[in-house]
A and B are shown apart, each in its own frame.
Chain A
């Protein structure tokens, strides 16, 4: 026992010594550096590693994207690409009638744009409502609450490709769902080859896959609402519905805005699940913007990098506009 205590004490001293050594080591380096460059410059030193990663892997490719958007050809190296000015944007934006993709020079871009718009409206709307309802239910004192919280969060942990393949096996013509229907003597439903069904299931699956994440944010918001506010509302004669409208919803609004912004950005960027699930079909019914960009830039045998880069800049513009609108709404709410 005494030996164990002694060993423990020594180990503790050693680890303390090593820790101190590290502290002193960095103190020496950063102390010297501070003397050299001054206190005001020090924050930049600490930010530098992250800034480098951001600059190399995000900012630089973003700037490079501008170069690609204004150049043509299939060459990969920017310096070997021919300057074409606004030709790529012109090709994307030339339309006889902007509401009719068939009248546009680059009809697939417009189909993708309209599909994305429709998807964003329905998917984000459904996502916010379903996440809110789930969060409200999981916030109540129900049996096996922890279990249900895990169940709803579980799909978030799955790879989007896995999610897509699972659902594809369920919904394809000879899949599980149709197997059940035919076993009851019912006709098969063409879930993947009918445009409306395919669009419907893409929304349902993406909501199923991501709602756990948004539910968690809203649940945290619900738990931060003080219980005495509900007690006060109850004393004032408010029923559950009135409490929800007058207490829960206003106090949950910051989290709701966060959920809305995140869901919106994610919806505009939808790609992996749909690509593995329907491949953008039937026809182009579930072709969304990112898949269009991917197809033009990488999957297309002709590698139209310029057109893909121009389309991605337009998409970035849409995202910026959406974010600005969100910020304005948020400020007004505050």
Chain B
């Protein structure tokens, strides 16, 4: 019996070792890979060598390649992007692109760690450029027309994706431009018999008018703003805040910043704002849900909400976008937006570049903007105009108002979102102002703590 068992053990051992050779032929099968890898890798680290990139491409085309693309969506962007990716795959049968649709929180919190550990995807849709500095791939050596790529996107956004000291790298492109601005429930204004005020109205005037509308129509809330430093910044700048000084440093304690914080506090004290937006928790709470449900007269959010409003509000009520209110500092929204970027650890830089170049082609970029109702960041597409896919005049009007806001943007309102430490300001300011609104901190303490939070974050990052 023992002999029989010994034979069984030997058979088992042979089977186990047999599993090994199954893997060992891999190098033989993949033999070209090690040869190709250096060819592909070299241009990424060295000065662009145009003659080498096509060689790498020719070899790579023969190999089936899978690209992982992490993607978050506010509305229907993932569906539209999937359509474009399918089109790309049909034209490039050797390349499979897997679009991993994830919540924004995953992009915000987990993706930086994945990328840092070399476990990230090949490309992703991101908003926080500072979190990925030095981790992005320079696509320039792999692009067929790097000049077209560079010429068609805003220089400050392309620069925000570069490592410190780098002035040439192209690591991605902004897929949409966003701008902050207020949404107003037009139906409520009509019911109240009050005319919607136009350009030049101050925040205090808007507060009074929306309060009148809410009282006249019996609606629960008059006015609110998303809980983030990003949406807070525009009104604060309009009230005279200088968030970023001439040296690029954050300087939060300014009269304009204080004035807007005090105004929001007065909304809470008067009970005219949905308190659950600012007082509940450490998260990005938007006032748009209260607006969509018809419980709020005015919600300060941004252009990316248009698609959601079209789908969720439908014809329940009429809504419009109004110009950003004005103040001592003028009238400004804050620019922003997401970008599709490639990561340096990608094993398939040539294919990533191919996909990027496909996505920025005018017909494809235009399709994305038209279907997602987003402001195009691609200059050629913007100059040709986008035939937005909507039959709603309100949407076209809203896009028009947001477009008209672009020339009014203050320099600091453009610089903010591409600042490497913008997100340290965004989240900390929301939390600290939240503490001020609950009475945990005085305004002086809020200013002091917020400045310290940002300084600490910058010091930590530079250690």
Residues in chain A within 8 A of chain B (CB atoms): 21, 24-25, 28-29, 72-77, 82, 84, 102, 107, 111, 172-174, 190, 192-193, 195, 275, 278-285, 287, 291, 295, 298-304, 306-307
12 interchain pairs, CB-CB under 8 A? A24-B1, A25-B5, A28-B5, A74-B463, A82-B463, A193-B276, A279-B280, A279-B281, A301-B108, A301-B423, A302-B457, A303-B460
Instruction: Indicate if the CB atoms of B460 and A74 lie closer than 8 Å.
Output: yes
For B9, B112, B280, B424, which residue has the most chain A Cβ atoms within 10 angstroms?
A: B280
Q: How far is the CA of A299 from the CA of B2 in the complex (A)?
A: 60
Q: How far is the CA of A190 from the CA of B278 in the complex (A)?
A: 13
Please give the distance in Å from B26's CB to the nearest CB on chain A.
27
Residues facing A in B104-160 (CB within 8 A) are 108-109, 112-113, 116-117, 128, 130-131
Please give the distance in Å from B326's CB to the nearest CB on chain A.
31
The 0/1 profile, CB within 8 Å of A marked 1, for residues 427-447 of chain B is: 100000011011111000100
Instruction: Indicate if the CB atoms of A195 and B438 lie closer than 8 Å.
Output: yes
Q: How far is the CA of A280 from the CA of B431 in the complex (A)?
A: 10
Please give the distance in Å from B119's CB to the nearest CB on chain A.
11
Closest 9 CB pairs of A and B: A279-B281, A283-B438, A302-B457, A301-B423, A73-B463, A282-B279, A281-B281, A193-B279, A76-B116
Interface size on B, residues (CB 8 A): 44
For A82, A102, A281, A304, which residue has the most chain B Cβ atoms within 10 angstroms?
A: A281
Instruction: Indicate if the CB atoms of B460 and A283 lie closer than 8 Å.
Output: no
Query: CB within 8 A of A193: which of B275, B283, B423, B457?
Result: B275
For the complex with contacts A281-B281, A281-B282, 20 further pairs of A-B residues with Cβ separation under 8 Å are A21-B5, A21-B8, A72-B460, A73-B460, A102-B445, A172-B276, A173-B276, A195-B438, A279-B281, A280-B281, A281-B279, A282-B279, A282-B438, A283-B437, A298-B109, A301-B128, A301-B426, A302-B458, A302-B461, A303-B112
For B8, B438, B458, which residue has the most chain A Cβ atoms within 10 angstroms?
A: B438
B256 part of interface (Cβ distance < 8 Å): no
Q: How far is the CA of A173 from the CA of B460 in the complex (A)?
A: 39
Please give the distance in Å from B110's CB to the nearest CB on chain A.
8
**With a CB–CB cut-off of 8 A, which chain B residues contact A102?**
441, 445
Which residue of chain A lies nearest to B268 when distances are taken between CB atoms in the complex? A193
**With a CB–CB cut-off of 8 A, which chain B residues contact A84?**
463
Query: CB within 8 A of A192: which of B280, B440, B456?
Result: B280
**With a CB–CB cut-off of 8 A, which chain A residues contact B449?**
107
**With a CB–CB cut-off of 8 A, which chain B residues contact A278?**
280-281
B181 part of interface (Cβ distance < 8 Å): no
Chief secondary structure at chain B's binding surface: helix
Instruction: Indicate if the CB atoms of B6 and A28 lie closer than 8 Å.
Output: yes
The 0/1 profile, CB within 8 Å of A marked 1, for residues 334-348 of chain B is: 000000000000000
B274 part of interface (Cβ distance < 8 Å): yes
Which residue of chain B lies nearest to A108 when distances are taken between CB atoms in the complex? B431
Instruction: Indicate if the CB atoms of A28 and B463 lie closer than 8 Å.
Output: no
**With a CB–CB cut-off of 8 A, which chain A residues contact B434?**
281-283
Q: How far is the CA of A307 from the CA of B456 in the complex (A)?
A: 11
Q: How far is the CA of A287 from the CA of B440 in the complex (A)?
A: 13
Residues in chain B within 8 A of chain A (CB atoms): 1-2, 5-6, 8-9, 108-109, 112-113, 116-117, 128, 130-131, 274-276, 279-283, 295, 421, 423-424, 426-427, 434-435, 437-441, 445, 449, 456-458, 460-461, 463
Which residue of chain A lies nearest to B445 when distances are taken between CB atoms in the complex? A102
Are A295 and B282 CB-contacts (below 8 A) given A73-B460, A173-B275, A300-B427? yes
Q: How far is the CA of A190 from the CA of B271 in the complex (A)?
A: 12
Query: CB within 8 A of B109: which of A107, A299, A302?
Result: A299
For A24, A25, A84, A193, which residue has the most chain B Cβ atoms within 10 angstroms?
A: A193
Q: How far is the CA of A299 from the CA of B112 in the complex (A)?
A: 11
Instruction: Indicate if the CB atoms of B2 and A28 lie closer than 8 Å.
Output: yes
For B9, B128, B458, which residue has the most chain A Cβ atoms within 10 angstroms?
A: B9
Instruction: Indicate if the CB atoms of A72 and B5 lie closer than 8 Å.
Output: no
Please give the distance in Å from A30's CB to the nearest CB on chain B.
13
Are A279 and B437 CB-contacts (below 8 A) given A173-B275, A298-B109? no
Q: How far is the CA of A273 from the CA of B414 in the complex (A)?
A: 38
Q: How far is the CA of A295 from the CA of B457 in the complex (A)?
A: 13
Q: How far is the CA of A82 from the CA of B462 in the complex (A)?
A: 11
Query: CB within 8 A of A301: which of B276, B427, B440?
Result: B427
For A74, A111, A291, which residue has the most chain B Cβ atoms within 10 angstroms?
A: A74
Which residue of chain B lies nearest to A190 when distances are taken between CB atoms in the complex? B275
Q: How far is the CA of A304 from the CA of B457 in the complex (A)?
A: 8
